[in-house]
Amino acid sequence: MQAKETLFADLVQGRAQQFQVPLYQRTYSWTEKQLRQLWTDILEQAELLESGEKASTHFLGSVVLAPSPQNEATFPRWLVVDGQQRLTTLSLALAAIRDHIADGEPDEAERIDEEYLINKRKNGSDRLRLLPTQADRAQFAAYVRGPLSEQAAGGAVAAAYGFFRRKLVEAADPAAPQDVLRIEEAITSRLTLVAVTAERADNVHRIFESLNNTGLKLSQADLLRNYLFMRLPTRGEHIYETYWLPLQDSLSNDELEQLMWLQLVLDGDDRVRRQDLYAAQQQRFERGEVSEAEIEAYIKELYRRGALFRRLLHPEKEANEAVRAHLHRLDTWQAQVTYPALMLLLDRRQRGELDSADTARAMSYIESFLVRRMMCRVPTNNLNRIFQAVPGQLPLDVAVADGLHQLLSAENRFWPDDDELREKVRTAPFYKFGRGHQRKMVLQRLEESYEHPEPVDFATAQLTIEHVMPQSPGDEWLRMLSEDVVDGESAEDLHSRLQHTLGNLTLTAVNSELSNHPFERKQGLLQGSHLEMNRRIATTERWGADEIRARADELADRTIALWPAPLRGVGRAERSRDWNLAHQVLAALPHGTWTSYGDLAAFIGSGAQAVGNHLANTPGVANAYRVLTSEGKVSDGFRWAPQDAGGDVRARLSDDGVRFTAGGAADPAQRLSADELASLVSEADDPADSEEDTTQSAPESQGEETDADSFYLQLVAENSPERRFFRELAEDNSPGTVEAVRGLLARWEEIGGTVYHPGGTKASGSGAILTLEEAGAPDSVISPMGFTPGCGLGGTAYLDFQWLAVTEPSARPALRAEFLRLLNELEGIDLQEREPGRGPAPSFPLSVLEKDRNRELLVEALMWVRDRWESRD
């Protein structure tokens, strides 16, 4: 590459040439804020020219260019890899100057046109010296070539041109006129650029990536779009016009990014974070040579799913009434966290795997899952993970709606049953649960359940939640409550216990009129209400504890009828496709090898105990007995699965070539790690290893990954940092410490936390970070603790107090001190708080977790942090 400082005039003047903004670039997006700042800089330079001062020029930024594939010796064409916003803006400013002086100084206008804007002897799109991305091309050409009457109205290009025309009129104010040609000179010869020019052999995408993959300039969707269209040299125009441009026009950039992330999730990547979208999709495409047909297939699928995604954003676009009603309610709930599951249902319906009735039924399970958890105050911080995992965990052997019901009913999903729901409706302070719009929606659905012949139009009614027994009761209320107290409880205590329960809440448009008045006065107002639930309250003679509980029982019955219950007896949710893969890799174990529960668990992203339970209860799993403890011994809890042949395990292992040490353990040299298990699957599924290679003759439209390839690529992408952490942990810590850490991480996830494993490169090292995230707000996160595997000194747990000191609620010194006190209850730990940023972070060795009591105390301390996080102001 070559880099040099240049001026706009030097860059674009001279021989005929063209600067092409590639299809993959985002559209022109400068707003008036950037335009005003540029105009100020231009006027400043024009004044310096007028005064004759030899002041420095103004640095505008960089432009990165590369030879276009359409380059010709007689007509150079350059790809604008970076800097298109600046070039487009300056071109529009010059077009505005040209048009401003066209009547009075036509020769100067023609000069500006020919020097900076057009290639005089070229036709068609070649006539434009700057060729914007296709979405902006027609409008830009209208301003450069005219006539303006043919331009499309609106858009950023039109706004920028109009801005400069207005400012030029201001500059011509007779009271203080400014020379327009001085302004032109300032633009072309006083605004400096650094032009970076790549050679043909340079990888321009890597240049672009290094300039823009900082999360500041371009979004993940921008980067991925650029990446895709850079790999479509021959079919890019057609694909852009047919699929990408309509998709881009129908969604905002943020929505498009969300759709791209959902596509990854639907295709099986259930752990990718949205901020890692670009890297994850790039990693998939770069697992081998990707053809244009494969990228086209990806964009066509994105286009198809875009129509489905718009129904989530705009439920009124859904034709089926029942499905539309569920989408409306989930939209009202602000349940974006459920999008992976909703997209899966709409996708499967479009593929013919379920009809609209079953789609609505499946959505009722999702709605019930959210509502019941909110009413029973189940923490929401694991909802992202639950719904993101749905595509990968959905059972394969049952219908979609039934499978979703089964999946959400798993015991580690915490979907409250009828008994728990009924109890919470009767006793829990519903008014303090969830968010206001969610509480209001529950009450609205309960009102609708009465099926009044003239239902209220909730879209226009100005309804708020009303406490029938007021929050600040007067003497009359307290006297009535004193009649209901038992066991020495005071009226104030009874009021405090019942005031926020669902039985005491309703909807009304006259909240201020009801106020804290006695019940007799409220009765009249409620009697005249259009809501059936209010008229029923008004028929009651008094409103005390018994009446509130009776109404709660009635509403509980309606709640149970409206929102279906989970299935009973469903175990933990596991990834069904991963179990299939576990069976495949066990069947592929070479003679004379074995693996451990921990290795197999790391390979499929589960837990060692879950692996053991699955193998013990699943008949017909080949080589299940060759899964041993990390010490190479048969687990004390090992049992043959029902219907399996059984026999002496050690004898079977010996027959399979597994050697044993003098201590009775399987030879550790024959143990296969998680990475080695992954290599077994990749070798078995590699088409190149088959007797006949059919990939050359297969049509391009069939160039898709096999399921096994997808599994392997997914596991490599998802688990390599996790595997590296546990491999390094095992290298530098005892087996007992490794298993203790595994158990602790699993327990953290069970109580609603997330475990993040950094990239784990040789440069950065590996680790495990415990985090808590707010559902639907991935930027709202706290990390109470992290683990490092050790570098010859044993693994360490550390507290990042510099982060905790600026993150609510841990920013409060008293809370950090209490967290340290809880940790210091562990045997062998004595942590002292240091001022954030001063000295090393408080830490302790992971080996202390080998003691059961220490693990229990640490979990209690982490649950304390979780509770403070969830109840934060």
- Which DSSP string corresponds to 446-487? HHHTT--SS---TTT---EEEESS-SS--HHHHHHHHTT--T
Higher pLDDT, 833 or 396: 396
**235, 330: one domain:** no
Which residue, 262, 285, 308, sits at the end of a domain? Answer: 308
Residue 568 lies in a domain: no
**436, 526: one domain:** yes
Least confident of 166-180, 206-220, 366-380: 206-220
Residue 530 lies in a domain: yes
Alpha-carbon torsion angle 742, 747, 750, 751, nearest 10:
-140
Region of 434 please: left (phi>0), alpha (psi -120 to 50) or beta: left
Which residue, 717, 751, 772, sits at the end of a domain? Answer: 717
Q: Please report which helix (H) or strand (E) contains residue 837, including its range.
A: none
Burial of 833 (0-12, 13-18, 19+ CB in 10 A): middle
Domain hosting 289: range is 220-308
**298, 326: one domain:** no
pLDDT of residue 339: 96
**179, 295: one domain:** no
- 708 contacts: CB under 8 Å, gap ≥ 6: 581, 584, 681, 684, 685
Higher pLDDT, 267 or 627: 627
> Helix H segments across 630-691?
649-655, 674-685
Residue 434 lies in a domain: yes
**553, 679: one domain:** no
Q: Is the pLDDT of residue 53 over 70?
A: no
Alpha-carbon torsion angle 570, 573, 574, 580, nearest 10:
40
Residue 556 lies in a domain: yes
Q: What is the mean pLDDT of residues 382-395?
A: 87
pLDDT of residue 271: 72
| Residue 137, number of CB atoms within 10 A of its CB | 15
**609, 693: one domain:** yes
Residue 27 lies in a domain: yes
Task: Tally the domains of the chain.
Answer: 6
Q: How far apart are the first and last CA of the chain?
A: 53
Residue 540 lies in a domain: yes
pLDDT of residue 202: 59
By the 8 A CB rule, do 836 and 801 touch?
yes
- 229 contacts: CB under 8 Å, gap ≥ 6: 22, 23, 24, 236, 239, 240, 244
Question: What does the pLDDT look like over 108-148, one tens digit per residue?
Answer: 999 999 999 999 989 888 999 999 988 888 889 988 986 55
Q: Is the pLDDT of residue 372 over 90?
A: yes
Q: Is the pLDDT of residue 566 over 80?
A: yes
Backbone angles phi, psi at 118, to 5 degrees: -130, 160
- Paired with 781 in beta bridges are 773
pLDDT of residue 218: 64
Higher pLDDT, 694 or 360: 360
**159, 225: one domain:** no
Higher pLDDT, 683 or 301: 301
Please, which pLDDT band fits residue 71 given cuts at 50, 70 and 90?
confident
**848, 771: one domain:** yes
Among 176-180, 283-287, 563-567, 727-731, the range with the most confident prediction by mean pLDDT is 563-567
Question: How far lies 734's CA from each of 21, 550, 715, 848, in Å?
Answer: 57, 59, 26, 11
Q: Is the pLDDT of residue 702 over 60?
A: no
Lookup result for tokens 């609205």: 444
Residue 300 lies in a domain: yes
Tell me 499's DSSP state: T
Q: Is the pLDDT of residue 703 over 50?
A: no
Which segments within 27-84 are labelled E, that is strand? 58-67, 77-82
Q: Please report which helix (H) or strand (E) contains residue 769, including its range.
A: strand 768-774
Which residue, 242, 274, 308, sits at the end of a domain? Answer: 308
Question: What does the pLDDT look like over 817-832, one tens digit per residue?
Answer: 888 889 999 998 888 7
Please, which pLDDT band fits residue 303 given cuts at 50, 70 and 90?
very high
By the 8 A CB rule, do 259 and 311 touch?
no
pLDDT of residue 1: 60
Region of 684 please: left (phi>0), alpha (psi -120 to 50) or beta: alpha
pLDDT of residue 89: 95
Q: What is the mean pLDDT of residues 70-99?
A: 90
Buried b (16+ CB within 10 A) or exposed e, 573-582: bbbbbbbebb
Backbone angles phi, psi at 846, to 5 degrees: -65, -20
CA-based radius of gyration for the chain: 34
CA 213/CA 407 separation, integer angstroms: 37
Q: Is the whole model's pTM more than 0.85, yes or no?
A: no
Question: What does the pLDDT look like over 568-578, one tens digit per residue?
Answer: 877 655 545 45
Supply the DSSP string of 313-381, one letter for each residue: H-GGG--SHHHHHHHHHHHHHT-GGGHHHHHHHHHHHHTTSS-HHHHHHHHHHHHHHHHHHHHTT---T
**392, 436: one domain:** no
Q: Is the pLDDT of residue 149 over 60?
A: no
Q: What is the mean pLDDT of the chain?
A: 81
Question: What does the pLDDT look like over 430-463, one tens digit per residue?
Answer: 988 888 899 999 999 999 999 877 788 887 778 8
Residue 806 lies in a domain: yes
Please, which pLDDT band fits residue 309 given cuts at 50, 70 and 90?
very high
- Paired with 18 in beta bridges are 77
Please, which pLDDT band fits residue 690 given cuts at 50, 70 and 90?
very low
Please, which pLDDT band fits residue 684 given cuts at 50, 70 and 90?
very low
Tell me 615's DSSP state: H
**804, 847: one domain:** yes
Determine what percent of the chain is predicted with pLDDT higher than 70.
82
Which of 276, 337, 284, 281 has the alpha carbon at shortest distance from 312? 337
**44, 178: one domain:** yes
Report the CATH number at residue 619.
Answer: 1.10.10.10
Please, which pLDDT band fits residue 205 given cuts at 50, 70 and 90?
low
**636, 740: one domain:** no
Q: Is the pLDDT of residue 331 over 90?
A: yes
CA 762/CA 391 separation, integer angstroms: 33
Q: Is the pLDDT of residue 98 over 80?
A: yes
